[in-house]
Amino acid sequence: MRSYYYDETTGEDQRLPHDSMEAVSLEELSLLGVSYWKADSIDQVDKISEERNYKNRDQIICSRTAMGDIYEEKLKTFFEEHLHEDEEIRWIMDGSGYFDVRDGADKRWIRIKVEKDDLIVLPPGIYHRFTVDENDYIRAMRLFKDEPKWIPLNRSEENDKNPSRKAYVELLNRSGLAV
């Protein structure tokens, strides 16, 4: 896993690195509520799942081959800025991609490169987006506390008032990262 501020000036292709060369540390991500583990076995994933009460899981393959005609449409959906009311938990089983999360001031994107064996947790209420990288392939295990669901709430004034968003903003305020 590697994270840095997203360079908005490096072109439009979301799959490119957009690397500003301004690194963001794991500690800084932690202040935003983002958690990370290196998990090179299913046993490690099972242990983390038990500790964090993740009861359900499934797998997703994001590639042209696996998704066929809906691939480009799905990538656009994943890359639309959104939040979830639950944690977004992903263990990367193969391939690579990027999660982008908003910084504490809600001004700049932080790009998080994820690759095989990375396990990342985004907190409820954080605005984020996802894309594969130039390899156009990622296979990930999605973990859930309850029944598997993936409901994106796209950024809007209405969703800024969502209880999970309000709780997340309060977390940032307590951390001294006012939005």
User: pLDDT by residue (tens digit) across 82-94?
Assistant: 999 999 999 999 9
d(C-alpha 153, C-alpha 172), whole Å: 20
Residue 150 clears pLDDT 80, i.e. is over it: no
Is position 48 within any domain? Answer: yes
- The answer to whether 84 is a known ligand-binding residue is yes
Is position 86 within any domain? Answer: yes
Is position 76 within any domain? Answer: yes
**Whole-structure pTM value:** 0.95
Is position 39 within any domain? Answer: yes
- The answer to whether 18 is a known ligand-binding residue is no
Is position 179 within any domain? Answer: no
Is position 49 within any domain? Answer: yes
| Domains identified in the chain, total number | 1
CATH of the domain at 38: 2.60.120.10
Residue 179 clears pLDDT 90, i.e. is over it: no
| Host domain of residue 89 | 2-174
- The answer to whether 128 is a known ligand-binding residue is yes
